Amino acid sequence: MKGSGKMGEKLFQGEYVSSDRLLYTASEFAKNNLIYLQEIGSLKAQKTHISKRQNLSSFLFFYVKEGSGYLDYEGKLYEIEAGDCVFINCQKSYSHRTSNNLWRLEWIHFNGENVLPIYMKYVDRGGQPVFRPEELGIPKEIWKKINDVAHSADYIRDIRINEYLSALMTFLMSFSWNPEAKRSDPNTKSLYDVKEYIDTHYSEKISLDMLSDLFLKNKYSLSRSFKEQFGTSIINYLLVVRITHAKQLLRFTDMTVEEVGAACGITPLYYFSRIFKQIEGVSPLEFKAGWK
């Protein structure tokens, strides 16, 4: 399962940049089954310069440690400062350049069969090419772990790299559809109020029309905004909340299946059983028996 990472190690001191990078060759197993590393490195700009690329079968993540610069991606120019993170699909044309305040970057190029769907979900949920976390502690720690294991002789390093790249994807997705910073926005705050209402009133009769009246929002606008913010429809979120509570009652109480359905707001019994099996793949009775 080893890659041939150390063979691609390169220190580069040039006119425009000073860089330390590792070109990593993942195993065939990793390429076919895991999120795998292609390149990892750091650089310090020596002069202002521009890098242009396109049609790379790769995804790029980097963060700015010092200085500032610009990213040109999908026809939009982004200003980037120390503390900012970038996540882009390198199949698309892009360029980046340092400003006169010469930057220092740490980057990761990676890929995998499931990365494109994750990236598309990131974009669908509102993720931006450039975002700014409160601090760089998490991506710095992930970068260091990947860099350390990629340089090691660990015989399961591709598995470890997959673990750390998965952690990176989790970090990135947290800035696509549930960033805490957006709670201050009045429109976004109202969506959290809707979500919290569902979380606490799931056992009651809830409809899109009722939520629209309760929160004084057009139901079509409310439905669209909720899905954009949380990545799922209001009705689907309500069902998931109800089924989650139903599973708790089935496992940890002596309530009948019919009583559980009623307690979670899904009646009559045949409908509860159908919805439960549709989501869980087994009937409520089979689920209950499986956990005895």
Distance, in Å, from the CA atom of 289 to the CA atom of 292, rounded to the nearest integer, reads 5
Low-confidence ranges of the chain (pLDDT < 50): 1-7, 178-184
Whole-number Cα distances in Å, 284 to 237, 254, 265, 276 = 19, 13, 15, 6
Q: Residue 221: count other Cβ atoms within 10 Å of its Cβ.
A: 11
| Mean pLDDT for all residues in the chain | 89
11-64 pLDDT tens trace = 555 677 788 999 999 999 999 999 999 999 999 998 888 888 888 999 999 999
Q: Which domains does the chain have, with CATH numbers?
A: 5-177 (2.60.120.280), 182-290 (1.10.10.60)
Among residues 211, 206, 274, 203, which one has the least CA distance to residue 244? 203
Output the DSSP codes for 42-57: EEEESS--EEEE-S-S
Q: What's the one-letter identity of residue 156?
A: I
Contact 34, 83 (CB under 8 A): no
Which residues in the chain belong to E strands, given as ranges?
A: 9-13, 17-23, 36-45, 50-53, 59-66, 68-73, 76-81, 85-89, 94-98, 104-111, 130-131
Among residues 98, 79, 78, which one has the least CA distance to residue 18? 98
Contact 130, 80 (CB under 8 A): yes
pLDDT at 185: 52
pLDDT at 54: 82
Name 111's bridge partners. Answer: 36
Token pair of 103 as six digits: 């930057």
pLDDT at 180: 46
Contact 117, 173 (CB under 8 A): no
Query: What pTM, to 2 d.p., does this model score?
Result: 0.64
Among residues 152, 161, 62, 64, which one has the least CA distance to residue 103? 64
Q: Residue 11: count other Cβ atoms within 10 Å of its Cβ.
A: 9
Contact 166, 228 (CB under 8 A): no
Among residues 88, 79, 83, which one has the least CA distance to residue 108? 88
Contact 279, 243 (CB under 8 A): yes
pLDDT at 6: 45
pLDDT at 184: 47
Token pair of 55 as six digits: 């049609």
